[in-house]
A = this chain, B = another copy of it.
Amino acid sequence: MKIALAQINFHIGNFESNISKIKSAIRRAKTENVDLIVFAELAVSGYPPRDFLEFDDFISQCKKAVDDIAKCCIGISAIVGSPTKNPEFQGKYLYNAAFLLEDGKVKEVRNKTLLPNYDIFDEYRYFEPNKVFEIIDVKGKKIALTICEDLWNVGNNPLYTVNPMDRLMEQKPEMIINIAASPFNFDQHETRTEILKKNALKYNLPLFYVNHVGAQTELLFDGGSMVINAEGKIIRELKYFKEDFQVFDIENLEGNSNHRPLLKYHPSNVKTGLIHDALVMGVRNYFKKLGFSKAILGLSGGIDSAVTLAVAVKALGKDNVLSVLLPSQFSSQHSVDDSLELVKNLGSPHKKIEIEDIYRSFEGSLSSHFQNLPFGIAEENIQARIRGVLLMALSNKFGYILLNTSNKSEAAVGYGTLYGDMNGGLSVLGDVYKTRVFDMARYMNRNGEIIPENIITKPPSAELRPDQKDSDSLPDYEILDEILFRYIENRQGPKELIRMGFEEAIVKRILRLVNINEYKRYQTPPILRVSAKAFGMGRRMPIVAKYLS
């Protein structure tokens, strides 16, 4: 029996495109004499469809898509994920379902049991959990068909009281299929591989796993679909960050080459390499799926805009990313020189617009209202906002999407100007701490200098007043990032951090900054998610609150 895994980049709500990609994979599978082709979770709608699931019209379109795809399944079976109506009055309105299509129609439907409802997941908002366990039969093979999280309770996950595989084992399946929508973070491939291996080993069954690939706004799906044999050995992984299609003969699994795409990263920088590739895919897909091709960004001479530009050039091509240098009276010559060297290295276009005249014009209009108060945050922000207006003007005039260049450390402590440098359609580095932005720059320079060395080595500065340095107002990034990581990713509290040896005053100040700047993060662009706890949909905080603040 031959099984094909189809790892596809779907487009949420774009039924025409999703159906067409699925049908084309089915046609290809037929030419390779495949018996069963497997697609990912909620393939027809794309994942996550979020509140589109509350629209009857959207659900009808999902049903039509499944019926349409079924018609192609003559002489081949297919497993396709789709939301489907719960036929009972009782319970949530929908199931998260896997359809088995055969002989031109829907032969079986199996529903998801374990519904993730943490971090970025909201599945309990929409779906009723499955309570009936039954294997499926394809060409006489008994298959335990599961959906993503269903395999994530290997007997020890406190979130769930049911283990779908334990129940399915009562019917003696011969293999496991899991269709998934498991988003990337820089530790996720390890966790995921471990969980899948444990399942194969525990049940002593081969496991076929199909994941999504591609970016859905902030969520990055890395692919890495795989086949694991009954001894828990990975037979083959599909590509990371790219569509892929592979056929496996289940009678001769070992005959498939042992392809491990992650081996391409040097062991010392697997995480940085993965983040880099994830971000490139994130930018590329954001533009492509929205129907845009050109990006614009402000190049300050600092590391964040430099790395953002380099990622964007990888994603969109050098001719499609316009850098704008926007120096003020406070900008250093090296900022301009370093920026020019960077665009030269990349071969990408740039413009330069001095902002001092406009700044003077604001100063003139405001002077009578500012009552001779000294230069301060207001004046600093005016500069950042003038840059924001100029970049948006070019964006509006020529159809560029503005890329936001803030990093996670800045976003965390509110070191940035709302409606100024916090503007953009998409934040590329908003889930990357400053210290890792430096790692990324070095990683991108691994085969020759792209980011000028001076950008990497000079002390970071916003250059909004004379001789300003980030270190005037923030602790060293090494310390800042470690406290932020422990507070944000690990949810460690002040007492715990102080007990670990961090200075009390610094801990309190940083935690307070994170909490009082929730209002700024509320209005920032979507952030490409590369960590297990990114700002955005996976971290939901009240703005008006008084906790550690």
Q: Given A91-B158, A493-B55, are A389 and B385 neighbors across the interface (CB < 8 Å)?
A: yes
Q: Which of A117, A216, A360 has the most CB of B within 10 A?
A: A117
Decide yes or no whether A381 CB sits under 8 A from chain B: yes
Q: Which residue of B lies closest to A385 (CB)?
A: B389
Partner-binding segment picked from A66-74, A336-344, A363-371: A363-371
* A145: Cβ under 8 A from any B Cβ: no
Q: A55-B491, A124-B117, A389-B385 are in contact. Are A50 and B161 (CB under 8 A)?
A: no
Residues of B contacting A50 in the complex (Cβ-Cβ under 8 angstroms): 540-542
The residue in chain B whose Cβ has the minimal distance to the Cβ of A91 is: B158
* Given A385-B392, A389-B362, A541 and B52 contact (CB-CB distance below 8 Å): yes
Contacting residues, chain B, for A17 (C-beta < 8 A)? 546
Q: Tell whether A14 is near chain B: CB-to-CB under 8 Å.
A: yes
Closest Cβ of chain B: how far from A522's Cβ, in Å?
6
Residues in B with CB closer than 8 Å to A357 are 361, 364-365
A132 at the interface (CB under 8 A from B): no
> Bound complex: CA of A290 vs CA of B364, how far in Å?
32
A419 touches B381 (CB 8 A): no
Q: Chain B residues with Cβ under 8 A from A46's Cβ?
A: 545
> Chain B residues with Cβ under 8 A from A541's Cβ?
50-52
* Interchain CB contact under 8 A, B56 and A493: yes
Residue with the greatest number of chain B CB neighbours at <10 A, chosen from A358, A378, A546: A546
Residues of B within 8 A of A233 (CB): none
A residues 199-241 touching B (CB-CB < 8 Å): 215-217
CB-defined interface of A513-549 with B at 8 Å, one 1/0 digit per residue?
0000001001111100000000001011111111111
Q: Return chain B residues, CB-CB under 8 Å to A381.
A: 392-393, 396
Using known A-B contacts A51-B541, A525-B522, A544-B286, determine if residue A161 contacts B12 with beta carbons closer than 8 Å: no
A13 at the interface (CB under 8 A from B): yes
Contact B537–A540 (Cβ < 8 Å): yes
- Contact assessment for A493 and B57 in the assembled complex, using a CB-CB cutoff below 8 Å: yes
By CB atoms of chain B within 10 A, which of A369, A491, A544 has the most? A544
Q: A495 interface residue, CB < 8 Å from B?
A: yes
Which chain B residue has the least Cβ–Cβ distance from A351?
B369
Interface residues on A, range: 35 or more
Chain B CB within 10 A, most for which of A355, A381, A494: A381
- Contact among B124, B216, B542 with A544 in the assembled complex (CB-CB below 8 Å): B216
In the assembled complex, the Cα of A389 lies from the Cα of B365 at a distance in Å of 12
**A525 contacts across to B, CB distance below 8 A:** 522-523
A308 within 8 A of B: no
Closest to A16 in B: B546
- Are B158 and A52 in contact (CB-based, < 8 A)? no
Complex partner residue of A542 from B48, B124, B353, B388, CB under 8 angstroms: B48
Give A54's nearest chain B residue, CB to CB.
B491
Q: In the bound complex, how far is the Cα of B494 from the Cα of A146, in angstroms?
A: 34
**A 10-56 contacts with B by CB, 8 A:** 11-14, 17, 46, 48-52, 54-56
What CA separation (Å) do A13 and B512 show in the bound complex? 13
Q: How far is the CB of A477 from chain B (nearest CB, A)?
A: 24
User: CA A60 – CA B369 in complex, angstroms?
Assistant: 48
Partner of A370, one of B12, B48, B397, B494: B397
A500 CB–B CB distance under 8 Å: no
CB pair A545 B52 closer than 8 Å: yes
A382 on the interface (CB 8 Å rule)? yes
Q: Across the interface, which residues of B come within 8 angstroms of A263, CB to CB? A: none
* A191 in contact (CB, < 8 A): no
Establish whether residues A394 and B365, one from each chain, have CB atoms under 8 Å apart when the complex forms: no
* Nearest CB in chain B: distance from A329 CB, A: 15
- The answer on a CB contact under 8 Å between A373 and B397 is yes
Contacts of A505 in B (CB 8 A): none
Could you list which residues of chain A lie within 8 angstroms of chain B, going by C-beta atoms? 11-14, 17, 46, 48-52, 54-58, 60, 89-93, 117-118, 122, 124-125, 158-159, 161, 215-217, 285-286, 289-290, 351, 353-355, 357-358, 360-362, 364-366, 369-370, 373, 376-378, 381-382, 385-386, 388-390, 392-394, 396-397, 418-419, 423, 425, 491, 493-496, 519, 522-526, 537, 539-549
Task: List 15 additional A-B contacts (Cβ < 8 Å) besides A14-B546, A419-B419.
Answer: A12-B547, A50-B542, A51-B540, A90-B158, A91-B158, A92-B159, A118-B125, A124-B124, A354-B365, A355-B365, A369-B397, A385-B385, A389-B389, A419-B423, A523-B524
